[in-house]
Amino acid sequence: MGKRGVGRSKKLAETRRKGVERTIITQANVELEESVSEIEGVTVEFEESVSEIGGASILSEEKCNSEVLEALVMKIVEELKSTVREGESQPKPWVEVIQGNRSLNRGMAVDFVAPTFVNGKAKVTIDESDVSGELEFWEILIILFALGESLSMNAVKKFMEKTWNFISLPELFYNDDGYFIMKCKNREDMELVMEQGPYFIYGKSLFLRKWTSDFEMKEDLLRVLPIWITLPQLPLHLWGERSISKIASVVGKPITTDECTAKKLRISYAKVLVEVDITQKPIETVDIMDHKGKLVEQKIEYEWRPMYC
């Protein structure tokens, strides 16, 4: 008697093997379809749950298989990443950014106004009505610069976000002469910024001054700077607006006091922001004749001042 299995048809064995494989594949397809169906069911429940968040409805563990939900979330994340990658683009060249800047329908219409001539030279006269709108638009500006420091727009914006988070973020403009112009949302914000300080950026003093229509960078910023001065042990009866204005005017043009001085929260010294001509030697004391005829010598200290030889 021959051995068991000897003589079995190879063709029959192969057919049976393929049948088993077909059965396994069919079962796998069924399981895959059930998994997809289950994921779709979770998606529906997930969407229903999201729509019911306002009613504090949360998808229960009984309704949601955690592993299937995790697979669904991962799939969504991958799809979002793919969408972001497809949507990424290189920064546009500057020539493309300003493309169309000279388009006639994007600019401001201007008219011809015949000039006048004096001794053969053209002369233009600007009236109050010509500038009233611009003066109103730019009246809440602050000039901002740091001596000896070339600041980037990004660096100044980060400084503004961190330091002046108590106001609405101002608009920022850069001038090629090396200074920034900050346009506040309103006058209250501008006053709050000016009352604070002194300010420092990268270890350098940051100077702020209110914009005026006669402002000139080379004439003003390089000669006249806003500097905080203190009046240590200023007699209490001299803390009024008029008295402080007179005393600070000896140093330069007073701009504002700090909040503690205005509200008399600190009486050790008064603090005033003054526009000072830095080409002149700083004044260190001032003689004050009070209302009773008493002469008082008041000391003046500076938060910052240039070095003199």
Residue range 134-162, pLDDT digits in tens: 888 888 888 888 876 678 888 899 999 99
Do residues 204 and 144 make contact, with C-beta atoms less than 8 angstroms apart? Answer: no
pLDDT, residue 52, reads 46
pTM greater than 0.85 (yes/no) = no
What DSSP line would sit under 161-194, residue for residue? HHH-TTSPPPEEEEETTTEEEEE-SSHHHHHHHH
Taking 80 as the threshold, does the pLDDT of residue 119 lie above it?
yes
pLDDT at 53 over 80: no
Nearest to 213, CA basis, from 124, 125, 141: 141
> What are the tens digits of pLDDT across the range 85-102?
554 445 555 555 555 666
What proportion of the chain, given as a percentage, has pLDDT over 90?
Answer: 21
Residue 201: φ, ψ to 5°: -135, 125
Q: Over range 239-268, report the average pLDDT.
A: 93
**Average pLDDT for residues 236-249, to the nearest whole number?**
95
Is pLDDT of 45 > 50? Answer: no
**Cis peptide bond prior to 91, omega within 30° of 0:** no
Highest mean pLDDT among 27-31, 47-51, 149-153, 271-275: 271-275
Sign of CA dihedral 199, 201, 205, 208: negative
* Residue 45: its H or E element: helix 10-51
**What is the band of 222 on the pLDDT scale with cuts at 50, 70, 90?**
low
Query: pLDDT by residue (tens digit) across 196-209?
Result: 877 888 877 788 88
Distance CA 80, CA 42 (A): 19
Residue 204 confidence (pLDDT): 76
> Tokens 């229509």 correspond to what residue?
213
> pLDDT at position 65, please?
54
The residue among 66 and 289 whose pLDDT is bigger is 289
- SS3 of 224, please? strand
Closest to 156 measured CA to CA, from 179, 139, 177, 138? 179
- Burial (CB < 10 A; 0-12, 13-18, 19+), residue 247, is buried
- Nearest Cα to Cα of residue 204 among 285, 147, 124, 151: 147
Output Rg (C-alpha) for the chain, integer angstroms: 38
Which range of 22-36, 50-64, 183-197 scores highest in mean pLDDT? It is 183-197
Q: What value, to the nearest 5°, has the Cα angle with vertex 301 and ends 297 and 302?
A: 150
Cα–Cα separations (whole angstroms), residue 85 to 75, 76, 105: 15, 14, 35
Across 30-34, 87-91, 279-283, which has the greatest mean pLDDT? 279-283
pLDDT of residue 130: 86
Q: What pLDDT sits at residue 103? A: 62
Q: Which helix (H) or strand (E) holds 12?
A: helix 10-51
Residue-wise pLDDT tens digits, 59-85: 444 444 556 666 666 766 566 555 545
Residue 281 has pLDDT above 60, yes or no: yes
Query: Over the range 181-194, which residues count as b (16 or more CB within 10 Å of their CB) and which as e?
Result: bbbbeeeebbeebb
Higher-scoring residue by pLDDT: 177, 267: 267
Average pLDDT, the chain: 74
Q: Work out whether the CA dihedral 174, 175, 178, 184 comes out positive or negative.
A: negative
Residue 18 has pLDDT above 60, yes or no: no
pLDDT at res. 20: 47
